[in-house]
Amino acid sequence: MAKAILVLEDGRSFEGISFGADGEAFGEMVFNTSMSGYQEILTDPSYAGQIVAMTYPLIGNYGVNEEDVESRRPWVEGFVVREASRVASNFRSTKSLQDYLKENSIVGIEHIDTRALVRHIRDKGAMRAGISTVETDPQALLRRVLSSPEMANRELASSVTVASNYDYPAGDREKYHIVAYDFGVKTNSLREFSKLGCRITVVPAETTAEQVLALEPDGIFLSNGPGDPASMINVVEEIKKLATSQKPMFGICLGHQLIGEAFGGTTYKLKFGHRGGNQPIKDLTTGKIEITAHNHGFAVDVNSLPADVEVTHINLNDQTVAGLRHKSLPVFSVQYHPESAPGPHDSEYLFERFVDLMRK
């Protein structure tokens, strides 16, 4: 088995075993607390620019299949696990996780102490890192880590978005037409809308408000995606125009942060972000608690929001803003993944809430 090393930007290093592709990978070191769903995590465009460590110790035991991908390819820069299962046991499995990583040129490392790595990130914060199967000197790899881009002020949505418009059909009789901005949209969001009778026109991240309105949508969806929302100045300007068009608008994750910015709020980088399927959220409009799937490293500053925007959801772990709505415009958003792929299904009602908004 070939050796591999992982080096963090503060100089801490870990030695392990290579699994996946040979080579080097650089990105922001983050961790995900989900016990399963690794294929959905790998193919979530919100992970572009990041190396992901799984906190659950055994990953890969049900293999990989054709159905559980959330976009056209994996987007993680590198993958870190305690132990990659050599046995893939599931009737849907078509190949092993190792083969999948190799096919998609993703560098992985296993047999490192992921508990120590995660505790370090929780203590020091998310930081740049590098994985290498070819460089054996941690100091040499560290120099390349320090020359790699930081996540703050990094615009990544344009690197994952589609090149041109495409339509996702309604599952049954078409009742509504939604235009969805692809900042890194996951396929399950489109499936959820389709189940509710919506045809979705997916458009590139740089689409103008005029081009969106020319498609005559009943509603506008702002998807999840990677990078720093504060870097997306032009997109925020277009969202401002769309917000005042009286078209219902629903944003999740990056889309939520962009709505916050469009209404005059500001965003900031969290110490190590929220990534996993077990974040407790309180819906302040109903008093109910939902367990939700998250993947974000930025948040909306509650103190920056204007008087006409109210907080609708909060994260019970750290009291950060988890949902917004405008008091007079048909616009709302949440800081998490209601499409739940992977994750619990507590938040599916939000898709129905958006359809109700279009119906009214």
The confidence score (pLDDT) of residue 220 equals 98
Tell me, yes or no, if the two domains 3-146 and 157-359 fold the same way.
no
The confidence score (pLDDT) of residue 40 equals 97
List the CATH code of the domain at 3-146: 3.50.30.20
What is the rounded end-to-end Cα distance, in angstroms, of the chain? Answer: 61
Q: Is the pLDDT of residue 201 over 90?
A: yes
d(CA 81, CA 38): 11
Task: Quick: pLDDT tens for 26-42.
Answer: 999 999 999 999 999 99
Pairing of strands 166-168, 198-204: antiparallel
CB contact at 8 A, 298 and 267:
yes
Confidence of residue 172 (pLDDT cuts 50, 70, 90): confident
198 counts as catalytic: no
The answer as to CATH 3.40.50.880 being correct for domain 157-359 is yes
Task: Quick: pLDDT tens for 284-296.
Answer: 999 999 999 999 9
Q: What angle do CA 160, 148, 131 make, to 5 degrees?
A: 85
Q: Is the pLDDT of residue 129 over 90?
A: yes
Residue 226: closest CA among 54, 51, 22, 15: 51
* Mean pLDDT of all residues belonging to the chain: 97
- Residue 107, helix vs strand vs coil: strand
d(CA 33, CA 66): 24
d(CA 47, CA 355): 28
CB contact at 8 A, 48 and 205:
no
Q: What number is the average pLDDT over the span 197-211? A: 98
The confidence score (pLDDT) of residue 18 equals 97
d(CA 7, CA 135): 11
- The percent of residues above 90 in pLDDT, for the chain, comes to 98
135 counts as catalytic: no
CB contact at 8 A, 342 and 34:
yes
- φ, ψ of residue 357 to 5 degrees: the values are -65, -40
The confidence score (pLDDT) of residue 1 equals 82
40 counts as catalytic: no
The domain ranges of the chain are 3-146, 157-359
The confidence score (pLDDT) of residue 152 equals 94
From the CB of residue 25, how many other CB atoms can be counted at a distance below 10 Å? Answer: 23
The confidence score (pLDDT) of residue 286 equals 94
d(CA 188, CA 342): 10
Task: Quick: pLDDT tens for 36-94.
Answer: 999 999 999 999 999 999 999 999 999 999 999 999 999 999 999 999 998 999 999 99
On the question of a cis peptide bond just before residue 306, with omega within 30 degrees of 0, the verdict is no
Whole-model pTM: value is 0.96
- φ, ψ of residue 87 to 5 degrees: the values are -110, 125
Task: Quick: pLDDT tens for 96-106.
Answer: 999 999 999 99
Q: Can you give the length of the chain in residues?
A: 360
Which long-range contacts link 314-317 to residues 24+ away (Cβ below 8 Å)? 314/281, 314/282, 314/284, 315/274, 315/279, 315/280, 315/281, 316/280, 316/281, 316/282, 316/289, 317/274, 317/279, 317/280
Helix axes 187-195, 349-359, angle to 10 degrees: 50
Which residue in the list 9, 40, 70, 339 is annotated as catalytic? 339
Which residue in the list 253, 290, 313, 326 is annotated as catalytic? 253
Which residue in the list 120, 256, 313, 337 is annotated as catalytic? 337
